[in-house]
Chains A and B, each alone.
Chain A
Amino acid sequence: MDMAAHAGPKVEVVRRRRANAGRHLAPFLFISPWILGFLFFTLGPLCFSLTMSFFDWPVVGERTFVGLDNYRSMFMEDPQFRESLWITVKFAAIYVPFNIVMSFLLALLLHHATFASGFFRTVFYLPSVISGVALVTIWSWIYSREYGLLNFMLSLVGIDGPNWLGDPSLALVAIIVASLWGLGGTMLILLTGLKAIPKELYEAATVSGVPAWAQMLFITLPMLGPMLIFTFITSIISAFQQLTIALLLTKGGPLGSTYFFAMYIYDNAFKYFDMGYAAAGSWVMFAIVLTLSLVVMRWSAAWVYYEGEVRPVDGDRDA
Chain B
Amino acid sequence: MPEMRTTIIGSLLALAVAGAATARAEEVLRFATWDTGESLAIQQAIAKKFEEKHPGVKVQVEPYAEGYDQKLVAAFGAGNPPDVMYMWNFPQYYTSLKPLDELIARDSAEIKPDDFPEGLMNTTRIEGKTYGMPSGFTTQVVFYNKEMFAKAGVEEPKEGWTWDDLRAKAGKFRDEAGKVYGFAVDAKPDPYDFEQFLWSNGTKYISDDGKEIDGYMNSDAAAAVLGMFADMAKKEEAVTLHLGDETGGDTLFQGGKIAMFQSAMWDKADIDAAGFSYGVAPLPTFGDRPAHSALGVSAISIAKDAAHPDLAWEFVKFFSSPDSVAMRVNDLPVRKSVAEAKGMTKDPVYKPFFDILATSNTERHAYLKNANWGKIQDNLARAIEATMIDQGNAKAHLDDAVKRSKRLLK
Contacts and interface: CB of A to CB of B under 8 A. Distances in A.
Interface string B90-114: 0011011000000000000000000
A60 B389 contact: no
Given A256-B382, A270-B70, A59 B245 contact: no
A146 B245 contact: yes
A79 B404 contact: yes
Interface of B: 1, 69-70, 73, 76-77, 92-93, 95-96, 188, 243-247, 374-375, 378, 382, 385-386, 389, 404, 407
A78 B408 CA distance: 9
Nearest to A19: B1
B242 to A, nearest CB: 8
A60 B245 contact: no
Q: How large is the interface on A (under 10, 10 to 19, 20 to 34, 35 or more residues)?
A: 20 to 34
Interface stretch (A41-49, A162-170, A209-217): A162-170
Contact of A168 (B73, B378, B389): B389
A25 B70 CA distance: 41
Given A22-B1, A163-B244, A164-B244, A254 B92 contact: no
A41 to B, nearest CB: 15
A119 B399 CA distance: 57
A98 B76 CA distance: 44
B382 to A, nearest CB: 6
A144 interface: yes
A144 B382 contact: no
Interface of A: 18-19, 21-22, 25, 59-62, 73, 77-79, 140, 143-146, 163-168, 171, 253-256, 267, 270-273
B234 to A, nearest CB: 16
Contacts of B93: 60
Nearest to B96: A60
A270 B245 CA distance: 25
A17 B69 CA distance: 56
A254 B389 contact: yes
Contacts of B407: 73, 77-78
A19 B2 CA distance: 10
B245 to A, nearest CB: 5
B245 A145 contact: yes
A146 B374 CA distance: 32
B34 to A, nearest CB: 15
Given A59-B77, A271-B374, A145 B96 contact: no
A60 B1 contact: no
B385 A255 contact: yes
Nearest to B383: A255
Nearest to B72: A60
B364 to A, nearest CB: 21
Contacts of A253: 188, 385
